[in-house]
Structures are given as C-alpha cells and as structure tokens.
Amino acid sequence: KKKLKISGRELVSVPEQVFGLDQLQILEMSPERESCLRYRMELLPREISHLRNLTCLYVDSNNLKKIPAEIGTLSHLERLTLSNNSLSSLPPEIGALQRLHSLHLANNSLTELPAPLCQLRSLTFLDVSDNKIGTIPSSIRHLEKLETLLLLFNSLESLPKDVCLLRNLHTLWLGNNHLRSLPASFGELVNLDWGYNYCSCNFEGNPLESPPPEVCSRGPEEIRDYFLSLCR
C-alpha cells in the first residue's frame, strides 16, 4: 500500500498496524476541509519514524500539542501539513527534512518562526498564518527557493530586510499584522505581481503609511499605485 487515509471524528491515535506499512508514501489523517470537523489526536507517535518512505504527511485539524523529534528521520518527506492544531513549538529536528518543499502551520499557537525552518533549503511554500508570531529571524534569507510565504494574522511589527533577499518570492501575504513600514529594499522583490494579481501580495489590516516613502523611492512604480489603492 502506497497511500492511506484514516478518517473518523473519533480518531485519537494512529493504529499500530500503520507503522508496519514500510512502503507507505502518503498518509492522511485529516478531515475534509468542507466538513468543519476536528479530530482529537494529541500526539504524533515516535513510531512515525518507521515510515521511511513517506513523501506526504497530512495531519491538519487535530489537537496535536507536540511533534516528536523522530520527524527528522523522514528523509523523503516533501509535504507536511500541520495546520489547525495546538502546536506552540516545533522540534529542531525538523530542519533535517531537506526534501521538504511545502509546510503548512497555519492556526496553531506559535509565537516565533522556528529557526530550524531556515535550514529547509528546498522549501517553496510556507504558511504560518494565524499564529502569534512577533518576529522573523534574519536567517530566513537562507530559504532561497521560497516562492510562497503566508504570514497573515500574526503580531509582526516589522519585517526584516532579509526577507527582501528572497528573490524567488511570488506570493507574500502580510495582512492583519502591526506593520507600520517596510524595508527600503522591499521593491527588490521583483517577482511579486504588484496590484495586478491580488493573490500575489496582501497588506490589508496593517497601519502602514500610504504609500511607504522608503519603498516607493526604490521600488517599481506599481508599488505606489498599489498602496494608494488600498487607502481609497
């Protein structure tokens, strides 16, 4: 068996038999998004390390409070979804997942962007929306392949200039934070589709000056038009 979906509103743990499926590649233990259900699993067992061939692990909308260090042994993992849980931290070992390109952490209880995430050099999609994140480490610049960064509904008061080194960014959502200004080098994120594609950049719900002069002085003309349109 290469793919397995376990469902049921009473799901509280992973059946032991699953850990004997050493060829398993995709394991899904999340309710359908449309159902508005939430499963009750609080702990991802350490035995998850037995599934060495996993490429996708979906554990959204449970009640996970902790991720075991053994997650770092899943060297083939490419996609990990942990949104809508009760996580306040991540183990340092998550930085060992060098094939991981998509990580979903929205709607947890994180207060900072964990430094080990910046070791994930293959990461192209990172969603940490709706947490309590107040700072972003400067080491985020190491995520050279990052294309999508979602930081909606956090407590960011500033954006480090290192974010502007993520030249592959196509989508950046910063809505509903506490940002008053942006780095002067923000306009160097030339792959953002300013104003023409709403899904590319989002700043609504921030007390930003309109338009931020330090950005308009160096960025493309579209930046000025975009920020002016937000305040009409």
The pLDDT tens digits for 176-205 are 999 998 888 888 888 887 655 667 888 889
CB atoms within 10 A of CB 208: 19
Query: What local confidence, expressed as pLDDT, does residue 217 receive?
Result: 58
- For residue 214, what pLDDT band results from cuts at 50, 70 and 90? low
Higher-scoring residue by pLDDT: 123, 212? 123
Residue 39: CB atoms within 10 Å = 23
- Between CA 100 and CA 106 the distance in angstroms is 17
**What ranges in the chain are assigned the alpha helix state H?**
213-216, 221-230
Confidence of residue 10 (pLDDT cuts 50, 70, 90): confident
Rg of the Cα atoms in the chain = 19
Dist. CA 1–CA 21, nearest whole Å: 7
Mean pLDDT along residues 205-215: 77
Please state which of the ranges 35-39, 84-88, 136-140 shows the lowest mean pLDDT.
Answer: 35-39
Q: What is the mean pLDDT of residues 63-67?
A: 95
Per-residue pLDDT tens for 27-56?
999 987 756 788 889 999 999 999 999 999
pTM of the model: 0.90
106 with 82: CB under 8 angstroms?
A: no
Strands 56-58 and 79-81: parallel
* 122-132 residues labelled b (16+ CB within 10 A) or e (exposed): ebbbbbbbbbe
pLDDT band for position 9 (cuts 50, 70, 90): confident
Mean pLDDT along residues 142-146: 94
**Rounded-to-integer distance, Cα 184 and Cα 207, Å:** 17
Q: Report whether pLDDT(213) > 90.
A: no
Give, for 213, the enclosing helix (H) or strand (E): helix 213-216
| C-alpha span between 43 and 66 (Å, rounded) | 6
**216-228 pLDDT per residue, tens:** 655 556 666 767 6
